[in-house]
Amino acid sequence: MDKKIWYEPTISTEHIFKGNVIDLQVDTIELPGGRTATREIVRHPGAAAVVAIHQGKLIVVEQYRKPLGKTQIEIPAGKLDPNEEPQLAAARELEEETGFIAKNITLLHSFYTSPGFADEKLYVYYTDELEVGTQHLDDDEDVIVKHITVEEADQYIASGDISDAKTLLAVYAWKLLIATGKLN
């Protein structure tokens, strides 16, 4: 007989922090047999990212990531604005961060980034139909736009300069496209 997964009913919620990007709460929950435990939960509005291929190269941005204490090379991405459709957010972030405008954009995958403690859902889109526009970064953004080959992407992965899930997924989807002509 299959074991039944226990649902964790919430007994109480304590709101700890409300920020510009995340909110933090601590829930007291009930476990099997009436035991209780706490769950620290990060609430996030979601985000969108774009695997953008231009002239056979992947468009990425290099930026400093304070939590890591180093720069990272990532595909363009950003959080969803309130009630914003993920597809529109992906196109907006691509243009803001890189100056490229997506003429057509297709959903590749969506996934939860860290379901053990956060509810952030990330939507990853693909485009290879681009036109040049104008970059317009947010006041707190400082990025360098790069166009990299598959070989350069592999080198960045090996060096740890690409180490986030969305960009790893982007590189592997791109390699699959090159090898099979299909994205999934």
- Catalytic positions are 141
Distance, CA of 160 to CA of 164 (rounded, Å): 9
Distances (CA, A) of 71 to 61, 62, 143, 161: 10, 6, 10, 7
Q: How many residues does the chain have?
A: 184
Beta bridge partners of 43: 23
Distance, CA of 109 to CA of 176 (rounded, Å): 14
DSSP type of residue 20: S
Distance, CA of 79 to CA of 152 (rounded, Å): 27
